[in-house]
Amino acid sequence: MRWLDAALRALTPWGWTLLASVVLGVVLARTLGWSEAVVAAVAAAGLMLGAIPWVVGERWARARIGLSAERVPVGAEALALVEIARPSRAATPRQVDLSVDDEEAVLEIPPLEVGASVLRSVPLDTSRRGLRTIGPATILRTDPFGVLERRHHLTETRTLVVHPRVVRLPGGAGGIVRDLDGEAAAERTADDVSFHSLREYSPGDDRRLVHWRSSARHGTLLVRQFEPSRRADALIVLSTDPSEYDGDDFELALSLVGTLGLAAIADRRTLRIVESPATERGAAKEIDSATRERLLDTLAVLEPRSSHGIAEASRASRGGAPGSLAWLITGSTVPPRTLRTAANGMPAGVVSVVVRAAVGAVPARSRLGDADVVTVGAIEDLARGIRQTRAP
């Protein structure tokens, strides 16, 4: 009965009127013997049958959809490209409708020769990050009498991914540079590659570390000690609690995460990005940062959805590798006490930098206990805030 359902859906209001006329004419002719009712029923049925050839068939037109780019940053130009071809001698439609999210774009089609095609472009809205669904391209086929109409899909759908806007940061911004990168650590270790000094032998020390020449000169056993080599690994903690953001602060926060994450990826540093946990004692949710595209694709669809803010996210992030530097990203409505709690939630030896996303705010930097607090009013302000932030 699928064909019957399709036929009923093809009827226009005028078509339903004609169908009712056919039924009513047959009933009146059989019950009252009215010959006029038979004529009306036959005429209505004739109009309906004459409309069928106008809406059947699949070769009135062919089309395909392309995108100028499948991934673009917020505000970048993006176009949907629709190519319409005439495959046969059947008359081509005068217009093609292209669905763009919840709207319809009407593409006017000129007369085409058999085998010819025409290309039409439709500007796409990239003012907000997220996914844009383009397609399908359809044609509405109807008859001259307006009895039947059928919407025929010419193409499948395509998806445009609008990424948050990011900027390029100077090298080394993905983590605090230490030791082998030029800045010495205060700790000492018995096994590494960067020699620091000698100390007296203690029971249990590895005899392979004994510096025999210096020991003979001083008359006591001396062993080597080293500076620990640390990679400048980064942890980014993002609050997804909507109560911590005002206006477009969350959009700026995502730009901050993307910018810092891409800087770490470009520097080939170990990177871990987490968002607020779903429950109070739950683990922090990992954000895919394996590659540039996977990170930006994830940020493109991320929404503020947790009831737990930056303090809970900081605590929950301790379940994984902490890195040498923790960026704590939150909004403009968080009180200093909460920021202090979040910064204190990091393990010892991890440098915490709290970044407040406050759209339109004057860039500022301050100290809150042992942590730096950087206020960013636009993504371009981040580089200056980083230049002023150094490891202790």
DSSP letter assigned to residue 361: P
- Among 177-181, 189-193, 222-226, the range of highest mean pLDDT: 222-226
For residue 383, the Cα-to-chain-centroid distance in whole angstroms is 23
Q: Could you read off the pLDDT of 88-106 as tens digits, one per residue?
A: 877 677 889 999 998 999 9
Q: Which of 8-22, 266-280, 323-337 has the lowest mean pLDDT?
A: 8-22
In terms of Cβ atoms closer than 10 Å to its own Cβ (0-12, 13-18, 19+), residue 360 is exposed
Categorize the per-residue pLDDT at 171 as very low, low, confident or very high, splitting at 50, 70 and 90: low
Given a cut of 50, whether residue 182 has pLDDT beyond it is no
Given a cut of 80, whether residue 315 has pLDDT beyond it is yes
Q: Could you read off the pLDDT of 124-154 as tens digits, one per residue?
A: 999 999 999 999 998 887 777 788 887 888 8
Given a cut of 60, whether residue 389 has pLDDT beyond it is no
Q: Could you read off the pLDDT of 51-91 as tens digits, one per residue?
A: 777 777 655 788 999 999 999 999 999 999 999 998 887 76
Q: Pull the structure tokens for residue 179.
A: 């030791």
Q: Pull the structure tokens for residue 368.
A: 């809150």
Q: Could you read off the pLDDT of 360-370 as tens digits, one per residue?
A: 999 988 888 77
- Residue 186: the pLDDT is 47
Residue tagged 């202090």 (tokens): 340
- pTM (predicted TM-score): 0.75
Given a cut of 50, whether residue 181 has pLDDT beyond it is no
Given a cut of 80, whether residue 31 has pLDDT beyond it is yes
Given a cut of 70, whether residue 287 has pLDDT beyond it is yes
Return the higher-pLDDT residue of 35 and 79. Answer: 79
* Average pLDDT of the segment spanning 332-355: 87
Q: Pull the structure tokens for residue 138.
A: 């359809």
Can you point out the beta strands (E) in 181-306?
194-200, 222-227, 234-238, 271-275, 285-286
Return mean pLDDT, the chain: 83
Return the higher-pLDDT residue of 45 and 128. Answer: 128
Residue tagged 């206020």 (tokens): 375
**Bridge pairing between strands 234-238 and 271-275:** parallel
- Residue 12: the pLDDT is 79
Can you point out the beta strands (E) in the chain?
62-67, 71-73, 79-85, 95-100, 103-108, 117-123, 130-142, 149-153, 158-163, 194-200, 222-227, 234-238, 271-275, 285-286, 325-330, 351-357, 364-368, 371-376
Categorize the per-residue pLDDT at 161 as very low, low, confident or very high, splitting at 50, 70 and 90: very high
Given a cut of 50, whether residue 184 has pLDDT beyond it is no
Buried b / exposed e across 310-326, counting CB within 10 Å, b at 16+?
Answer: bbbbbbbbbeeebbbbb
- Residue 180: the pLDDT is 34
